[in-house]
Amino acid sequence: MKPEGGDSLRAELVVVSDVHLRTIDDARSLLLRDALRRLDPAVEHLVLNGDIFDFCSGDAPYYRAKFAPLGEELATIAARGTRVTFVEGNHEIGMRQVGWPGVEVVDERDLVVALKSGTRIKVCHGDLIIDDPWYRAFRGLIKSRVGTAIARTVPGSWIDAYAMKHASISRSQDKYRTLDHGRILAAFDRWLAEGACEHGIIGHFHVPYAEPRPGGGGCMMSVESWDRPNFLLFGDGVFARTYPKEKGAPFVVSPAESVFKAS
């Protein structure tokens, strides 16, 4: 099924990542939910590849109530027959307990998407593909039973206020950060080599990579952040992107191209 736009979004696989929702009715949320409602029923697999929220603790009643409308819409998509998978990012914890019917949650590093066409695509949020012991230790503590147990002792609104403030400060520094693309893509290739998958998809770095593997035979793809709202699509062996700008507007689909093409 070739990726197609129009009034509905049609592809074998649809991936969204790094939306960083703060409320259920902010501009990003309304645009995301509109697009999800217009997914074609023929979509085989929808993957939410982490950091969909600025912060969410799936086992906390506060967050389950806060983001319930999104959960209901994802459950509706799953009930239609589309497989829906939520890959936990570094801004989410305890998502296995969120309780959205029909939505599968992956809180380990990797997901393998096996499409009916026979194509196998390896997916992860991306923050763990680079071997950084300090980051892994910090992430492990935050997501540990001890960390989540401590979080449950604090009112959800307090955690939310702190998380929103911290996320705002972190994002304000993004434009000053320099990414080592060579290091990221080398780690990407090593990660993709661990297993028999043709292509790999990550998020986290907020860069829309669409790069061939150095040894040939497959693509290294990533999903851009929702500073520029977007979806990554796959079908008939082709990767494409769409950038919705307003609710109800037709989806315009274009081929995914290397970020280094212009250079």
For residue range 72-81, what is the model confidence (pLDDT) as tens digits?
999 999 999 9
**Domain 13-255 in CATH 3.10.180.10:** no
Mean pLDDT on 133-140: 75
Tokens 């990660």 found at: 191
**What pLDDT was estimated at residue 144?**
72
> Of 36-50, 140-154, 168-182, 203-217, which has the strongest mean pLDDT?
36-50
Residue-level pLDDT at 233: 98
Residue 9 CA to residue 11 CA, distance in Å, equals 7
Distance of alpha carbon 182 from alpha carbon 189, whole angstroms = 11
Confidence of residue 138 (pLDDT cuts 50, 70, 90): low
Q: CA 108, CA 244: separation in Å to the nearest integer? A: 30
Averaged pLDDT, 190-209: 95
How confident is the model at residue 139, as a pLDDT? 75
Distance CA 114, CA 2 (A): 16
Whether residue 58 is predicted with pLDDT greater than 60 in this model: the reply is yes
Q: Give the pLDDT score at 73.
A: 98
137 confidence band (pLDDT: 50, 70, 90): confident
Task: Record the tokens describing residue 217, joined without a space.
Answer: 């035979």
CA angle centred on 244, ends 240 and 246, rounded to 5°? 170
Q: What percent of the chain has pLDDT over 70?
A: 87
Residues 156-195: b if buried by 16+ CB within 10 A, e if exposed: beebbeebeeebeeeeeeeeeeeeeeeebbebbbebbeee
Q: Cα–Cα distance between 118 and 107 in angstroms, integer?
A: 25
What pLDDT is stored for residue 167 in this prediction?
61
What is the β-pairing status of strands 231-235 and 238-242? antiparallel
Strands 83-87 and 253-255: unpaired
Q: What is the mean pLDDT of the chain?
A: 90
- Higher pLDDT: 95 or 134? It is 95
How far is the C-alpha of 87 from the C-alpha of 89, rounded, in Å? Answer: 6
Reported confidence tier of residue 131, pLDDT bands at 50, 70, 90: confident
Cβ contacts of 262 within 8 Å, gap of 6 or more: none
Quick one: tokens of 14?
Answer: 């649809």
* 3-class DSSP state of 104: strand
**pLDDT tens readout for residues 154-193:** 677 767 775 666 566 556 556 546 899 999 999 999 999 9
Exposure string for 46-67, b = 16+ CB within 10 A, e = fewer: bbbbbbbbbbbbbbbeebbebb
- What is the distance between the alpha carbons of residues 82 and 177, in angstroms, rounded to a whole number? 37
For 106-128, what is the HEC assignment? ECCCCEEEECCCCCEEEECCCCC
